[in-house]
Amino acid sequence: MDTVKVIEIKKSVFEDNEKDAAGLRKELKDKGVYLLNLMSSPGSGKTTTLIRTINLLRDKISIAVMEADIDSDVDAIKIKEATGIQSIQLHTGGMCHLDAEMTRQGLDNVDMKGLDLVILENVGNLVCPAEFDTGACRNAMILSVPEGHDKPLKYPLMFSVCDLVIVNKIDVLPYFDFDLEKCKEYVHMRNPKAQVIPICAKTGEGVEKVAEWLLTEVKNWKNK
Amino acid sequence: MDTVKVIEIKKSVFEDNEKDAAGLRKELKDKGVYLLNLMSSPGSGKTTTLIRTINLLRDKISIAVMEADIDSDVDAIKIKEATGIQSIQLHTGGMCHLDAEMTRQGLDNVDMKGLDLVILENVGNLVCPAEFDTGACRNAMILSVPEGHDKPLKYPLMFSVCDLVIVNKIDVLPYFDFDLEKCKEYVHMRNPKAQVIPICAKTGEGVEKVAEWLLTEVKNWKNK
């Protein structure tokens, strides 16, 4: 089994997260690197979705991944084995979210040379990560079919801060009471501009749309 | 549609949560009321499981429910309509967990006369709620099949503090790579004494075992 770099993230000592986040975003802009913050509940399929998306994009752009987890290293190893890209593990030591300073601690351990895109897989949690700007260019989240289409009603902030909502596990739609149209309606109540892309990360269905969205984002970021 | 009492919970001003929790537990003991703290990820089926369990127990013991949610009232209304029992909604105002003082604010709004059992449905989150003793007699959690059997590896504290792990949505086991035996093994790595009960809240399969566990717990609490 591959080993990956594991970074023990320390709690931020800086108080002004918004200022830190804006500063980090400016630095990323100067370097021409796009940072995506990917959030979701535990078990929604973040890692599998990432592997599929990265494999569609890795010949076009240079990508690295930072996997945030409370304790384990399984996700970073899985990504490295399945895609071959630069993948590091961030241990949050029990912390339920990442802020801009914690994200920077992770980025300090990424080789940024020639890089176009860094994807941060945030801690599995629909509440706290939404409250902290990580300094990413965009926030995206995954809602999986078994969680139910009512989640934008119950976790309003998460859906307000995300510009892309990936609806995963559409292969099991026949077995759950999940209404995709209602889901889109609820998402747009929180963020009218959010894009909703239904996928099945297991089979790859729809993932090319996520890859396209991300590629356009990265190109626009570099040319803006 | 029924309306329910909605309580806006304020952030605790007290610092010593462990002391508060122990104090609350003692009070509950004196009153002969058992408090269960039920936790899980968003969308794991807490409310449906509760409705099934309550309907099996409501002729035997007197039950009330406190539904904690960031913003919405849908769960408390659903419980009240489906079971007829006392059901109140706690709004956490963005907070990702409940502590003992917040739980007490909720209990102050419950009619405790003749009550045997109060179930607290905590905020949907596998991280933060595990860190705060609510003053409950026991912690239980629901892990649903689509979330994956590896969750005890990734959210160690949650599985360490729970004495009952309900594995929900076993009706969809054929469509997911979920290994029930591996799940039990991982749960027992975190808490060797934890009981694991597989159920399907949608059809009711296995829920009688949850009801039995809870009934025994309530009786033992009163007689201890």
A126 in B contact zone (CB under 8 Å): yes
DSSP string computed for A154-202? HSHHHHHH-SEEEEE-GGGGGGS---HHHHHHHHHHH-TT-EEEE-BTT
Predicted TM-score (pTM) of the model is 0.90
A73 in B contact zone (CB under 8 Å): no
Q: pLDDT by residue for chain B (224 residues), tens digit each?
A: 457 777 776 666 556 899 999 999 999 999 999 999 999 999 999 999 999 999 999 999 999 999 998 877 888 999 999 999 999 999 887 788 899 999 999 999 999 999 999 999 999 999 999 999 999 999 999 999 999 999 999 899 999 999 999 999 999 999 999 999 999 999 999 999 999 999 999 999 999 999 999 999 999 998 87
Rounded distance between C-alpha atoms, residue A85 and residue A82, angstroms: 9
Query: By three-state DSSP, how is residue A37 classified?
Result: strand
- Residue A85: per-residue pLDDT: 96
Which of B43, B145, B175 is facing A151, going by the closest CB pair?
Answer: B43
Please provide the CATH number assigned to the domain covering A6-223.
3.40.50.300
Could you give the C-alpha distances from A70 to B53, B92, B120, B137, in angstroms and in order? Answer: 32, 24, 25, 27
A144 vs B contacts (CB less than 8 Å):
43, 146
> Between chain A and chain B, how many beta carbons pairs sit less than 8 Å apart?
109
- Weakest-pLDDT range from A55-59, A195-199, B13-17: B13-17
Per residue in A75-90, pLDDT (tens digit) is 889 999 999 999 999 9
CA distance A35 to chain B (A): 24
Determine whether the interchain pair A42/B147 forms a contact, defined as Cβ–Cβ distance below 8 Å. Answer: yes
The residues in B 154-213 lying below 8 A from A, measured between CB atoms, are 154-157, 169, 171-172, 175-176
Q: Which two tokens stand for residue A208?
A: 């090319």
A145 vs B contacts (CB less than 8 Å):
146
Could you give the C-alpha distances from A138 to A31, A115, A194, B99, in angstroms and in order? Answer: 16, 17, 11, 33
Amino acid at residue number A150: D
pLDDT band of A4, cuts 50, 70, 90: confident
- Per domain, the residue ranges of chain B are 6-223
Rounded distance between C-alpha atoms, residue B71 and residue A92, angstroms: 27
Determine whether the interchain pair A146/B169 forms a contact, defined as Cβ–Cβ distance below 8 Å. Answer: yes
Between the CA atoms of B223, B54, B192 and A74, what dihedral angle is there, to the nearest 10 degrees? -160
Which of A74, A144, A153 is facing B146, going by the closest CB pair?
Answer: A144
B144 vs A contacts (CB less than 8 Å):
43, 146
